[in-house]
Amino acid sequence: MIRFRCPVCARTIKVPEACAGRQVVCPRCNATVGAPLAGLDSRGETPEEAPGFFASMSPRMRLFAGSVASATGAALLTAVLGGVLEAPAWVTHGAVLATIGSAILLFTGLHGHGTGCPRCGRWWSRMMVRSEVGERETFERDGMTFARSVTRAEYRCQGCGHKWSVTDSEEYRVTEPRRPQKARK
């Protein structure tokens, strides 16, 4: 399999090696892009530089998030400055309500996008199938002991049935366990 990024929407595309050097259609934005030759790592990323939350957004979702975030900021600014500049009470109260409403809309949209299916794009369709915690690994860094634990969760889309997994690792500092003190008499 060859993995590469769509230059239009930044989605990772997987194609069989038989498609190397051919034109393929991106499943997200429907742009025609050229698949790289086999053997070249064209993902342009290392495992530490995996794409973030906003890189997976479609242009329409980015426009929605940017517009609603701007409306939230403008309403918040109006609410704050309305009190400072002694605007009528209805302006300040309306701005507070607009701030709350647009913030709820923004967070609802971002949560729906974050819990959507990577194949069909349907929001709120992710259902956890299984979750497992891997072995805890300890290591030394700068004279301190750290631990790394890995969690792998498997999801299934309730709409199209697509299955995918997400691996998450967490590093934390290990503290020395306290020894119980003997009771003093």
Gap between the terminal Cα atoms of the chain: 71
Query: What's this model's pTM, rounded to 2 decimal places?
Result: 0.55
State the pLDDT at residue 76: 94
If phi > 0 it is left, if psi is from -120 to 50 it is alpha, else beta; for residue 39 that is left
pLDDT at 42: 47
Is the Cβ–Cβ distance between 137 and 148 less than 8 Å? yes
> What is the structure's pLDDT at 54?
65
> What pLDDT score does 70 carry?
95
Looking at residue 50, what is its pLDDT? 47
Instruction: Supply the angle between the helices 89-114 and 59-84 in degrees, to the nearest 10.
Output: 150
Question: What is the pLDDT at residue 99?
Answer: 94
pLDDT of residue 156: 93
Please give the average pLDDT of every successive group of 10 residues along the chain, which has 185 residues: 81 84 83 76 44 70 91 94 90 94 94 86 89 86 87 91 88 75 67
Distance CA 166, CA 123 (A): 17
